Chains A and B, each alone.
Chain A
Amino acid sequence: MSGFGKEFTKGLWREIPPFRLVLGLCPTLAVTKAADNGLGMGLAVIFVLVLSNMAISAIRNLIPNKVRIACFIVVAASLVVMVELIMQAYAYPLYQKLGIFVPLIVVNCIILGRAEAFAARNGVIDSMADGLGIGLGYTVSLTFLGGLRETFGAGTLFGQAVMPAGYQPLGFMVEAPGAFICLGLLLGLMNLVSRLQGRKSPASVSELPAQCRACGSCYRS
């Protein structure tokens, strides 16, 4: 598989953000009351992530190491404000629903995480693929989680009734605890699938790529 394809597809399953990287959980839990909210949030994150990855990758050799985080934040924050303005101009009802979570994309760990872990070390094209893949994975996860919660919590999907007429909505599912429980069940399910596929966790630290050894947050603890 080419570099572009590899960087792109890893975000869709192997490193799918909320479930594998377990990053960006705050908006994941908060906005997934309905499938369309999850989709809108995901699209906003794709926009910011792809552009911030590309911009940071393009200027990565100019950025002094000591102020790199500040530079990443400036880039991400500018893009987020742009998304906010564009959303206000062209999708005002979505902007009203997502509310505070649009500006909070700035501090979404995925943006800074990808900038620090990937874009600052790789070329523009690869970074774009990485941003697109991770962003798409995030969007799919949020839409799926939103769809699940909306289906059981309100009996609708994208605003259309999907449950039989006599269905009593589980109001619990669209509240905060429902978010945690859904996310937990999905995480468990994904781990089960991975185990059935025979994928083992790395037997020893030395099998990990160097970049991963240095961080280690995924296998320690």
Chain B
Amino acid sequence: MREIARMIVVLSLISAVSGLLLAAVKTATRERIEEQELFYVKGPALEAVLPAHDNDPIKDRKRVSLPGGVELLVFPARTGGALTAVAFEASAQGYGGPYGLMVGFAANAEQLTGVAVTTHKETPGVGTRTMQQAFTRQFRDHPFSGLALKSAGGTIDAVSGATVSSTAAAAAAGQALALFTSGRPAILGAFQ
């Protein structure tokens, strides 16, 4: 009996100390990790989705609250001070987990500027083919209408063999579009 009690106490104590230490390290590194993620993950994605610009979209980012309580982290692209496009992330359920997609929207036209994948757990060599140019360039300058896979009545060709990942990409783009159309004044207004 005493032995069991000792086992429980020791293991709990070790776990508690480990937990405390982990919480401390997590808190200490959180801000820096966020910055690093913005720089290394969102940075390349933004360069891929936004048109040519002369500002730093990461530095100029803003949190925008949409009607309905949704909060978005929006990255603007400017040329000569004028807003040309905005980009933000949306996500959908992919094959192995959340499929995060950075979606860019033109400021003065009813069209996307492009998409790029930010986070995913898709099968290497299969689902990851939805991250290649051949698939993502279909979204470049795509008008708002018909933003769905061909099987769902849209204009986007799915990657054969990667139906789930293709569907996730289209769903994330569709979700971003829904957010953009409903919150357009708030999103663009934040950068005027």
Q: Which residues of A contact B10 (CB under 8 A)?
A: 62-64, 67, 71
Within the assembled complex, what's the spacing in Å between the Cα atoms of A64 and B5? 10
If A90-B32, A92-B40 touch, whether A85 touches B25 (CB-CB below 8 Å) is yes
> Which residues of A90-113 have CB atoms within 8 Å of chain B's CB atoms?
90, 92-93, 96
Q: Which residues of B contact A66 (CB under 8 A)?
A: 3, 7
Q: Is there a chain B Cβ closer than 8 Å to A117's Cβ?
A: no
Interfacial residues, chain B to chain A (CB-CB below 8 A): 3, 6-7, 10-11, 14-15, 18-19, 21-22, 25-26, 29, 32-33, 36-37, 39-40
* A82/B21 in contact, CB under 8 A: yes
Q: Within 8 Å CB of A82, what residues of B?
A: 21-22, 25
* A88 touches which of B6, B15, B22, B33 (Cβ 8 Å): B33
- Mark A158-192 against chain B: 1 for CB-CB distance below 8 A, else 0: 00000000000000000000000000000000000
> Among A67, A81, A88, which residue has its beta carbon within 8 angstroms of that of B36?
A88
Chain B nearest Cβ from A41, distance in angstroms: 19
Q: How far is the CB of A84 from chain B (nearest CB, A)?
A: 10
15 contacts between A and B (CB under 8 A): A62-B10, A63-B10, A64-B10, A67-B11, A70-B11, A71-B11, A74-B18, A77-B18, A78-B18, A78-B19, A82-B25, A85-B26, A85-B33, A88-B33, A89-B36
Residues in A with CB closer than 8 Å to B15 are 74
Main secondary structure of the interface of B (DSSP, over half): helix
Bound form: Cα–Cα A82–B15 in Å: 14
**A205, CB-defined interface residue at 8 Å:** no
Q: Report yes or no: A78 in contact with B22, Cβ–Cβ below 8 A.
A: yes
CA of A90 to CA of B6 in the docked complex: distance in angstroms?
A: 39
Contact across chains for A74 and B11 when beta carbons are under 8 A apart: yes
Inter-chain CA distance A29–B105, complex, in Å, is: 43
Q: How far is the CA of A62 from the CA of B26 in the complex (A)?
A: 28
B134: shortest Cβ distance to chain A, in Å?
A: 22
A86 interfacial contact with B, CB 8 Å: yes
> Which residues of B have CB within 8 Å of A86?
25, 29
Residues on the A chain within 8 Å of B39, using CB: 92
Q: How many residues of A contact B (CB 8 A)?
A: 22
Do most interface residues of chain A lie in helix, strand or loop, or is the interface mixed?
A: helix
A81 to B15, CA, bound (A): 14
Please indicate the chain A residues that have their CB under 8 angstroms from the CB of B3 in the complex: 64, 66
Is B29 in contact with A88, judged by CB distance below 8 angstroms?
Answer: yes
Residues on B with beta carbons closer than 8 Å to the beta carbon of A96: 40
Return B112 CB to nearest CB of chain A, in Å: 27
Q: A218 within 8 Å of B by Cβ?
A: no
Interface residue? A124 (CB, 8 A) = no
Are the C-beta atoms of A78 and B21 separated by less than 8 Å? yes
- How far does the Cβ of A50 sit from chain B's closest Cβ, in whole Å? 16
A23 CB–B CB distance under 8 Å: no
Contacts of A70 in B (CB 8 A): 11
Residues of B contacting A88 with CB < 8 Å?
A: 29, 33, 36-37
* B37 touching A92, Cβ below 8 Å: yes
**Interface set, chain A 47-91, CB cutoff 8 A to B:** 59, 62-64, 66-67, 70-71, 74-75, 77-78, 81-82, 85-86, 88-90
Q: In the complex, A81 Cα to B20 Cα: how many Å?
A: 13
CB distance from B34 to the nearest CB of A (A): 9
CB distance from B120 to the nearest CB of A (A): 12
Closest-CB distance, A73 to chain B (whole angstroms): 10
Most buried by B among A62, A81, A92, A93: A92
Q: Which residues of A contact B14 (CB under 8 A)?
A: 59, 63, 71, 74-75
Q: How far is the CB of B186 from chain A (nearest CB, A)?
A: 32
In Å, the complex CA distance between A84 and B43 comes to 21
Instruction: Please give, as numbers and ranges, the residues of chain B lying within 8 Å of A74 by CB-CB distance.
Output: 11, 14-15, 18
User: In the assembly, what is the distance between CA of A88 and CA of B33, in Å?
Assistant: 6
Q: What residues of B have a CB within 8 angstroms of the CB of A75 in the complex?
A: 14, 18
